[in-house]
């Protein structure tokens, strides 16, 4: 019987969550759900120089917002970071004794060694190799120091690191689900540092120990880790462990086919959340940046993504992150979202913009629903709503193309229509949607004015533009008092 699938997302707490990291988490989640497996969140914080306070909380909150759920690892409860599961601790800095045990084992078995070279020597060696056109790697100077002698130097307090002792001129082969079989010779790889001078393991040591002890069956991570994988494969063999399946994902690129970075704009989950993107839309779009479904379908629920997803259809080449396409996907989700959710989000944005009050939003549910239904097809993000709705709540300057229907030779026509509208509206207590639907026919009968000469001036006088939503919606949303006030200047 096959082993139960166990995958992990193991970021470093170095600040914001990059959109590429979210995609890695998403692919892990989709695969785990599809296979009925476990998805684990582990924190890799062995590089203490890059640790950012609050980054773990931000990471967990970002995953929670995105609807990417994991069953084991690091969580937030009552405002505190807690760990749940049978394979903890799930924070690497709390596992130092575990790593040390396996580092010592490798040293005793002659598969790792103490290295006493200082930074100046290492820099000089690398520079010399670069000048000669060689791979800038460690020259193995400390490889053959007898173990007893090395231990004495350590006992005397001499600074050291521990390095992996790779065999000379040996091919290391592994299979990657996306890229197939990959072979790299040890002459092209460094004797990797496993334990740093501060007593913390490097990523390479910690990740192999953690993945093995936590029963990880598939390692799904970015392709930037591909060159390190042979070292990891050798470590599995050196420790006598079965290696997992490897899946290296293509990089998320910008339109210039360069790695997406903060210098070019929004790249963190927080950025997209603050801009008003829906988590469902962001997940849907990110899934397609590097993976293609069997048909040309573009809009998926999370359940549909889980059903369709497979690593076999993940691309070998980087996926282009196209913000315009993301906006289109977000617009599709926005239009199909539950009206109660939309009303709440719309109210929040309009209140923030100072266009309505909380009381207004609470006491005018039907009005808010008509407003959203009227404008939702013209926006990609809920944060765009206030700008689109502004003409309803505030008087705006007339655009030049609008003025031509109201001034000069058209001024008399506008005056006739303004008076007719005022007379018609005076006969009703309020503008209902049903009444609004027949309103323009009534004005046509009163004035005999038709078509463009009717609709353009009326639209211009009450909404300040000759383009926009249906007239019946505009009439209902504006209401009698606002319309009267706007018509005054044209009578």
Residue 243: partners with Cβ closer than 8 Å, 6 or more residues away: 174, 232, 233, 236, 237
Residue 290 token pair:
């590097």
CA distance 41 to 26: 12
pTM, entire model: 0.89
Residue 60: partners with Cβ closer than 8 Å, 6 or more residues away: 41, 74, 75, 76, 81
Task: Compute the half-sphere exposure of residue 476: CA atoms within 13 Å on the CB side of its CA.
Answer: 22
H or E stretch including 415? helix 411-425
CA distance 171 to 230: 9
Beta pairing class for 161-164 and 112-115: antiparallel
Which pLDDT score is estimated for 376? Answer: 92
DSSP state of 315: -
Residue 148: partners with Cβ closer than 8 Å, 6 or more residues away: none
Whether the Cβ atoms of residue 192 and residue 163 lie closer than 8 Å to each other? yes
Whether the Cβ atoms of residue 269 and residue 16 lie closer than 8 Å to each other? yes
Whether the Cβ atoms of residue 381 and residue 329 lie closer than 8 Å to each other? no
The order of strands in the sheet holding 245-249 is 180-185, 171-176, 245-249, 218-222
Residue 12 token pair:
């470093």
- Catalytic residue ranges: 262
CA distances from 121 to 118, 129, 151, 244, 393 (A): 6, 12, 21, 36, 70
* pLDDT tens for the 491 residues of the chain, in order: 478 999 999 999 988 899 999 999 999 999 999 999 999 999 999 887 788 888 999 999 999 999 999 999 999 999 999 999 999 999 999 999 999 999 999 999 999 999 999 999 999 999 999 998 888 899 999 999 999 999 999 999 999 999 999 999 999 999 999 999 999 999 999 999 999 999 999 999 999 999 999 999 999 999 999 999 999 999 999 999 999 999 999 999 888 888 877 666 668 999 999 888 999 999 999 999 999 998 889 999 999 999 999 999 999 998 899 999 999 999 999 999 988 889 999 999 999 999 999 999 999 999 999 999 999 999 999 999 999 999 999 998 887 888 888 888 888 998 999 999 999 999 999 999 999 999 999 999 999 999 989 999 999 999 999 889 999 999 999 999 999 999 988 87
**CA angle 98–193–216, rounded 5-degree value:** 45
Q: Is 403 annotated as a binding residue?
A: no
CA distance 35 to 273: 29
Whether the Cβ atoms of residue 454 and residue 443 lie closer than 8 Å to each other? yes
Residue 287 C-alpha from the chain's centroid = 10
To which residue do tokens 């990089």 refer?
251
CA distance 96 to 199: 8
CA distance 52 to 64: 20
- Expressed in angstroms, the distance from the first to the final Cα of the chain is 84
DSSP state of 91: B
Which pLDDT score is estimated for 264? Answer: 62
Whether the Cβ atoms of residue 159 and residue 197 lie closer than 8 Å to each other? yes
Task: Compute the half-sphere exposure of residue 184: CA atoms within 13 Å on the CB side of its CA.
Answer: 17
């Amino acid at each position: 019987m096959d082993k139960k699938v166990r995958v992990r997302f193991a970021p470093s707490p170095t600040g914001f969550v990059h959109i590429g990291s979210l995609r890695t988490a998403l692919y892990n989640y989709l695969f785990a759900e599809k296979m009925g497996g476990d998805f684990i969140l582990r924190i890799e914080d062995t590089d203490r120089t890059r640790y950012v306070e609050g980054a773990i909380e931000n990471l967990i909150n970002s995953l929670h917002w995105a609807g990417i759920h994991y069953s084991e690892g690091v969580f937030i409860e009552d405002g505190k970071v807690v760990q749940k599961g049978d394979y903890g601790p799930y924070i690497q800095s709390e596992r130092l004794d575990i790593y040390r045990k396996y580092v010592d084992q490798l040293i005793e078995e002659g598969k790792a060694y103490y290295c006493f070279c200082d930074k100046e020597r290492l820099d000089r060696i690398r520079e010399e190799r670069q000048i000669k056109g060689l791979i800038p790697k460690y020259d193995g100077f400390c490889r053959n120091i007898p173990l007893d002698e090395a231990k004495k130097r350590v006992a005397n307090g001499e600074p050291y690191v521990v390095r992996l002792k790779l065999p000379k001129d040996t091919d290391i082969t592994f299979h990657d689900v996306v890229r197939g079989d990959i072979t790299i010779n040890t002459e092209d790889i460094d004797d990797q540092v496993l334990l740093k001078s501060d007593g913390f393991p490097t990523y390479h040591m910690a990740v192999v120990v953690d993945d093995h002890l936590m029963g990880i069956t598939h390692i799904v991570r970015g392709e930037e880790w591909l060159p390190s994988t042979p070292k990891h494969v050798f470590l599995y063999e050196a420790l006598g462990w079965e290696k997992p399946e490897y899946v290296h994902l293509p990089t998320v690129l910008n339109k210039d086919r360069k790695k997406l970075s903060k210098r070019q704009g929004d790249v963190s989950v927080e950025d997209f959340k603050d801009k008003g993107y829906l988590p469902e839309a962001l997940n849907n779009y990110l899934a397609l940046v590097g993976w293609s479904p069997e048909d040309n379908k573009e809009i998926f629920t999370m359940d549909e993504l889980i059903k369709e997803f497979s690593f076999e259809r993940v691309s070998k080449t980087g996926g282009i992150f196209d913000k315009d396409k993301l906006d289109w996907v977000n617009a599709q989700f926005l239009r199909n979202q539950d009206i109660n959710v939309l009303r709440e989000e719309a109210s929040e944005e309009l209140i923030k913009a100072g266009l309505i009050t909380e009381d207004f939003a609470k006491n005018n549910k039907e009005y808010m629903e008509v407003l959203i239904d009227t404008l939702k097809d013209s926006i990609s993000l809920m944060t765009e709503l206030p700008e689109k709705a502004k003409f309803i709540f505030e008087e705006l300057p007339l655009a030049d193309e609008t003025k031509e229907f109201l001034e000069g030779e058209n001024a008399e026509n506008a005056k006739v229509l303004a008076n007719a509208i005022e007379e018609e509206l005076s006969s009703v207590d309020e503008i209902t949607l049903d009444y609004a639907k027949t309103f323009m026919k009534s004005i046509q009968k009163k004035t005999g004015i038709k078509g463009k000469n009717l609709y353009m001036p009326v639209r211009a006088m009450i909404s300040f533009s000759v383009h926009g939503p249906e007239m019946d919606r505009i009439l209902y949303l504006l209401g009698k008092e606002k319309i009267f006030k706007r018509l005054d200047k044209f009578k």
